[in-house]
Chain A
Amino acid sequence: MSDLKFSESGRKKYEWLLTRYPEKQAVLLPALRIAEEEFGELGLPEMKYVANLLGISPSRVFGVVTFYTHFRRAGTGKFHIQVCSTLSCALRGSQDVVDHIAGRLGIECGETTEDGLFTLTKVECLGSCDTAPMFQLNDDYHESLTIEDVDRIIDDCRNGSGKNGASGKNGGSA
């Protein structure tokens, strides 16, 4: 058995969530978000932990996690760069952004750098079409990108100041 466990605050949040829905399974997606936050990623042990918590089968949780694209799956780099590649972004050069990042990091789309720092993914519309090209770096959107912006952001990540992508033009707290 794994020794995974929500922290005190994670547990509190989970219990609060249970009061917001008439049926327990509705808490699955939010609980997976807590797991993602607390454990860093969703691999099989994390999915099993959430399944036990909610009293549903691990295979069901696996089915749900893999249906969606936005959960942080096991093996994702510390900085996940998701470049929007749908039409509006493509019309304004998203492929150049992808090619540049792939060249700089020496990886193809869908791959992670050997040092485990970066994962590069092409994703579908992120709802930021007016600021194309753009990508999501972990939680934050980086918009209206130039190649210089991309280089700066990657450098920031490498030297530590880009933690959680907080240098985003639209980043920061609410």
Chain B
Amino acid sequence: MSFEKFFTKYLHEPDCHTLDFYKKNYQGYQGARKALHEWEPDALIDEVKASNLRGRGGAGFPTGVKWGFVPKKTDKPKYLAINADESEPGTFKDRVIMEKNPHQLLEGIIINSWAVGIHDAYIYIRGEYVFATRRLERAIEEAYQDGILGEKTLGKDFRLDVTVHRGAGAYICGEETGMLTSLEGERGLPKLKPPFPAVEGLWHCPTVVQNVETVANLPLILEIGSAAYKQIGPEASPGPKLYCVSGHVERPGTIEAPMGVNLLTLINEHCGGVWKGRKLKAVIPGGSSAHVLHARECDVAMDIESLAAAGTMLGSAGVIVMDDQTCMVNALLNIMRFYHHESCGQCTPCREGTGWLEKIVHRIAYGHGQLEDLALIDSVCDRMVGKTICVLADAAAFPAWSFIEKFRDEFVHCIEHGGSPEVKKRHPKRVGGGLRV
């Protein structure tokens, strides 16, 4: 079946982010108009359930099912919080939507808000995305001026206000409860679930939290219907998908393909193959939290079920490609430094565990490691996974486990030969000898 691009069709048109362009070329806001004027909210929730749309932020939760958890009879206001914190290493797809096609997101927000009965939506965007913030704010301004948002959304007696809320640099605010705490004006510390945000979120009120790309799929579902939508990619997790490919490929970038595209097709056909004519060594398929895949495991479909069956996850679809000259010890050290830096410090297993993981991998890379360190890493990970408020601890443990399991020879080589070749090249004086930390 031929695949028509939905998100990136007009990416290179200079004014693709404007309301005029969106209306003219995408039949912009027709989906939201249809939702408001032709669909009862409950039927709309059923339609989205029937489409099998799954969250694009990382967890892959069915969107319609999530909406169904929001209490119908409540005196409290309900809120929509769009997660645009995009901070999983290797992920940059939401930025593309917000910079190039902000109205697609706004239209999705209208559809989502109508289905759940929401009058206030917030877009929590990471602080570093200054350009995307400007584009979003401009798009919202256009939408208010055009009567798309406001007291009468698209001519319907239904108020909807959308506010952009800038974060300030913290990976943990991409975790949904951490994001909500941050939005309330606190340090972004995650909270225990339950209660889930759908029941008790922002200001103790029911709150739907959705990733940017997930919501931006809604106009398409309204346009073609759930039955046709389900035909794109695998039925259990269908739809067009944005894959972020980075690292050692000739042409890194955001690739739109049907959910379930083969990973090797993505690398070789869409991105020009491994750079400099080198061979593939490993791929992280779903952001740095995902289990790494060995080159021989890469003939796999990039959808939720297939990657789970391969022992990893689609996650945020951040595909990080590594060539045969990459030192896996050094690569893991980079990832461990990230999680140590980004742990919010609330839970001891994560605060201490991420620190120890970095320290142990660091000493292996710098020539002070011992063979027992590999078992020690395993035992530290064991004491982190599933023992904390949020999954940052798990996210740090998964790469540690999988890098060592699949590239054990390299770790052993580093331990037996005085450290990582990359580190030796860069810091010849700091490797080997001296005190073991």
Q: Which residues of A contact B (CB under 8 A)?
A: 20-23, 25-30, 32-33, 63-64, 67-71, 85-88, 90-92, 95, 123-132, 136, 139-141, 170-171, 173-174
Contact = CB atoms under 8 A, between A and B. Distances in A.
Given A69-B168, A129-B246, A130-B252, A124 B134 contact: no
B95 A87 contact: no
A89 B66 CA distance: 35
Given A124-B342, A130-B92, A70 B169 contact: yes
Chain B contact-residue range equals 35 or more
By DSSP majority rule, is chain B's interface helix, strand, loop, or mixed?
mixed
B185 interface: yes
Interface stretch (B121-129, B216-224, B361-369, B371-379): B121-129
Nearest to B171: A124
Contacts of B188: 67-68
Contacts, number: 146
A127 to B, nearest CB: 5
Nearest to B173: A68
B334 A90 contact: yes
Interface stretch (B148-156, B318-326, B406-414): B318-326
Interface string B59-89: 0000000000000000001000000001111
B183 A87 contact: no
A32 B90 CA distance: 29
- Closest 5 pairs (CB-CB, A-B): A70-B169, A129-B246, A28-B185, A68-B168, A174-B134
A92 B182 contact: no
Interface in B248-285: 248, 252-254, 284
A128 B248 CA distance: 15
B163 A20 contact: yes
A29 B165 CA distance: 8
Contacts of A64: 185-187
Contact of A22 (B77, B92, B170, B182): B77
B138 interface: yes
